[in-house]
Chains A and B, each alone.
Chain A
Amino acid sequence: MDISPAPRPVLELRDIVKTYGGVHALDTVSFTLLPGEVHCLAGENGSGKSTLIKIISGVETPDSGVIVVGGERHASMTPASAIAAGVQVIYQDFSLFPNLSVAENIAMPRQRAVGGRFYSARAARPIAQGIVDELGLALDLDADVAALSVADKQLTAICRALVSDAQIIIMDEPTTALTGAEVTALFALVRRLQSRGVSLIFVSHKLDEVLRVSQRLTVLRNGTWVATGAAGDYDRDAIAGLMTGKDIDTSRVVSAVPADAAIALEVKGLGRPGAFADVDLVVRCGEIVGLTGLLGSGRGEIAEAIFGVRPATTGTISVGGHPVRIQSIPDAVAAGIGYVPEDRLTQGLFLDDSIADNVVAASVTAFAGRARLLDRARMLAFIQSVASRLRIKAPNLSLAVRSLSGGNAQRVVLAKWLMTNPKVLLLNGPTVGVDVGSKSEILEILRTQASAGMGVVVISDDIPELYSACHRVLIVQGGRIVCELAGDAVRVETIEQRIAA
């Protein structure tokens, strides 16, 4: 496991302990980062990855342990001392200033850090231009950051880190909001950074991506160190196993669906000008159909049209063989369609309400008894049974949803729609931001629902997930379904190629 003779690490954490209110977030964790390497930090939600990053970047102070950066020992860091030591974090939200120009975002923090009391926009521009040119990017330096695409915001954050003489760059979930092409561009950039001698720590859920770019890997589980080693020594399943402590199955498991199974959802000639056109789609009972494509391809808009969020202007939709007219969300719900939106935090949940209230939110009218009063006992029993079926992990169901982890919150959204007993369930990015353990459980739930006779449509970027669960995968480009893969044709590489084509 040791690489010898080991070059002197640029960053070393020894026996770091951090507790929050008596709970160990990190329990004697050690970590080394070698010069010029890309080191993946993997772990499920709550495994202590974020805490470790916060300790390196000086946002949190460890209870005990030593941090050695560039040969200097520290008991703890502050944000300023971490930056001075060459540590830069590129946060998931990029931590940029939306109201300032790209040039100022890149150059101002450095001008400040070197002790300047004055700021000169004229001096900032060449600094920013220099790094942008050096990396061969095409960023508009005068644009407000608020007007940039997600990928360009990330590039701005990377430029800012480099301008501040970063020796160590930590990227927190850098690929979550990027499309496949953007991820490829990012990784090309990461290799160029490496060749400049920068060391990178990559934090990611998406193991395939991480393995493409990392040399070494450290896995955390429940705040403890589990493994460190060369990335090449592990495959997807091995890492997933280390992260969860269980064997995680990412292989393809699809049940057989008879060719004459009843049709759950049929869409013909669906279109909305400017979004999508001529969409034909058949989902049989028991079938899981994947819908994928680049961001902006129209895949999300198709799902939203079927659910009546923004209705289509042409075409027909039938559910269970009966034509339905869907002009609004209530129409879709009445027709037996359920929808788990992409951004579950803002669209799918009432964050401050209890788990139980969220679970029952879409089906509450079904529990109206005599005189239209709620039959509380029956409702609670039902909520309990759904919650335990979906294995929602919470001390009790009256807690606010806000307190749940990503995977559990997603299960609450799922539970909400399963309570309505839909004939068709559409899910947009069902496992975004969910750790591997929860992810495979969510896919298992979908398989169970499908085999109980539901038609399931999964809209996703996550190709291994489509491969693992979908009977058929449809690829959307420019608002049209351009390709359908079924049976043995559903392979990770094939899907990747067709999306990029």
Chain B
Amino acid sequence: MSTPALRQRRSGLLSRWPGRNNEGYLAALLLLVVAVMSAAAPAFFSLHTFFSVIRGATVPWIFAMGVLLVLVSGGIDVSFPAIAVFSAYSAVALTTARGVDAGLLGNFALAMAIGCLLGLVNGILIARFRLPTLIVTLGTAGFFRGAMITFVGATYIAQLPRSLAEQSTRSVISVNTEAGTTFLHVLVVPVLILTVLIALGLKHTMFGRAAYAIGGDPEAARRVGIPVQRTQVVLYVLVGALAAFGGMVFMIQGQAADPQMLIGIELDTIAAVVLGGASIFGGRGSVLGTVLGVLLVQVINNSLVLVGVPTAWQRATVGLLLLLGVGAQAWAGRRPRRAAPAAVKAPAVKAAA
């Protein structure tokens, strides 16, 4: 019923182009933006720009990993900036108020524990009571920010504990160029490790596949015995921990703990993840695409600064990018995802035995 030619698969690297979530197009777009910018402003094409893009991308990158996990499982989370602020600020405020320094690991552990707890609140509300994720996280976001200012504090802490403050200037690579010395910040290292772990976890663990399955069809997942509620709760706890981690990195980069920080970053993050090919309807998305999406948003933001575009227009651009990402998905969804081979159009039984 099927000709061998039809069934033959393209082999090699080209066969994967442009990737399950169109990562190839995204990479091409990223290269295009870099090429155009380099042509327009030769100063753009430098190691310094590269390092500063990475530095600027670090925090959205971490958040994007969390958002990816939630989107893949069919939800959406807008509370991660609130969790980030709550966890990181509380960790620092609680220890400094007592005049102790919990150390680098201690501070991170404390923040991430708080993040897990707040993520658990989201997870339980969403999984146990089957509430819509957008509304739940919108609600908890407001609640977390308000509760922190009421119960933890609202003061700007200009002096981070020493263990954190000394990370602010630590670099993993430093290169001397004619323009001066340029640094790659040390916090890039744990972010890369986390990214690899999440990529492996999504692709090669049952937990990761369960997340995709739930994003595809939660009822079907329940019927094949996947523990849907538990998986969802664990996902939101993970997102909480990632958010807390991102909050700490942001604080270290900014060298201060500001209870008003990270407002509006959910737009940049969700835009980046959706541009990266993750479906807002759940079940689709990859770590590679997400990283490319984050870098694209960052490079575009950077370029706009370089060209002298006002901040307001940068916000508008990010909003447009989000619409572009969603639009591309809707457009791709209207076409058949791949040409169905003739063999599956007719009933696929080859021959009666």
Contact = CB atoms under 8 A, between A and B. Distances in A.
Given A99-B215, A138-B348, 19 more contacts: A79-B225, A97-B220, A97-B283, A100-B213, A108-B213, A109-B226, A112-B225, A113-B225, A117-B206, A119-B206, A119-B208, A135-B349, A140-B7, A140-B343, A143-B344, A147-B338, A182-B347, A186-B347, A188-B353
Interface of A: 57, 59, 79-80, 83, 89, 91, 94-100, 104, 108-109, 111-113, 116-121, 135-140, 142-144, 146-149, 151-152, 155, 160, 181-182, 185-186, 188-189, 192
A181 B1 CA distance: 15
Contacts of B166: none
Nearest to A153: B344
A271 to B, nearest CB: 24
Given A97-B213, A99-B215, A118-B206, A155 B348 contact: yes
Given A89-B223, A119-B205, A148 B340 contact: yes
B210 interface: yes
B264 interface: no
Interface in B231-282: 279, 282
Interface in B189-217: 203-210, 212-213, 215-217
Give 3 nearest A-B pairs by CB, closest first.
A99-B283, A97-B216, A95-B220
Contact of A149 (B1, B222, B340): B340
B224 A109 contact: yes
A118 B2 CA distance: 34
20 contacts: A79-B222, A79-B224, A83-B225, A95-B223, A96-B217, A97-B216, A100-B283, A112-B210, A117-B206, A118-B205, A118-B206, A119-B205, A120-B204, A137-B350, A143-B341, A144-B337, A146-B337, A152-B348, A182-B347, A186-B347
A76 B341 CA distance: 44
Contacts of A138: 1-2, 343-344, 348-350
Given A95-B219, A119-B206, A140 B341 contact: yes
A186 to B, nearest CB: 8
B225 A80 contact: yes
Contacts of A109: 224-226
A337 to B, nearest CB: 30
Contacts of B307: none
B12 interface: no
Interface in B307-353: 336-338, 340-341, 343-353
B283 A98 contact: yes
B9 interface: yes
Interface of B: 1-2, 7, 9, 203-210, 212-213, 215-217, 219-226, 279, 282-284, 336-338, 340-341, 343-353
Nearest to B220: A95
Contact of A118 (B204, B336, B337): B204
B216 A100 contact: yes
Contacts of B2: 138
Contacts of A148: 340, 344
Nearest to A109: B224
Given A79-B223, A111-B206, A99 B348 contact: no
Q: Which of A59, A79, A116 has the most CB of B within 10 A?
A: A79
B329 to A, nearest CB: 12
Contact of A98 (B206, B217, B352): B217
A120 B203 CA distance: 8
A185 B349 contact: yes
B72 to A, nearest CB: 9
Contacts of A182: 347
Contacts of B345: 149
A117 B353 contact: no
A151 B206 contact: no
Nearest to B336: A147
Nearest to A181: B347
Contacts of A94: 220
B338 A143 contact: yes
Contact of A119 (B1, B204, B344): B204
Nearest to B283: A99
B217 A119 contact: no
Contacts of B217: 95-98
User: Which of A119, A143, A146 has most B Cβ within 10 Å?
Assistant: A119
Contacts of A116: 206
A149 B225 contact: no
B349 A189 contact: yes
A120 B338 CA distance: 24
A99 B352 CA distance: 30
Given A136-B351, A138-B348, A144-B337, A112 B220 contact: no
Contact of A188 (B7, B208, B338, B352): B352
Nearest to A139: B348
A83 B340 contact: no
Given A138-B343, A189-B349, A91 B336 contact: no
Contacts of B341: 140, 143
Given A112-B206, A138-B2, A147-B340, A98 B216 contact: yes
A91 B203 CA distance: 27
A113 B224 CA distance: 9
B71 to A, nearest CB: 12
A136 B213 contact: no
Contacts of A98: 216-217, 283
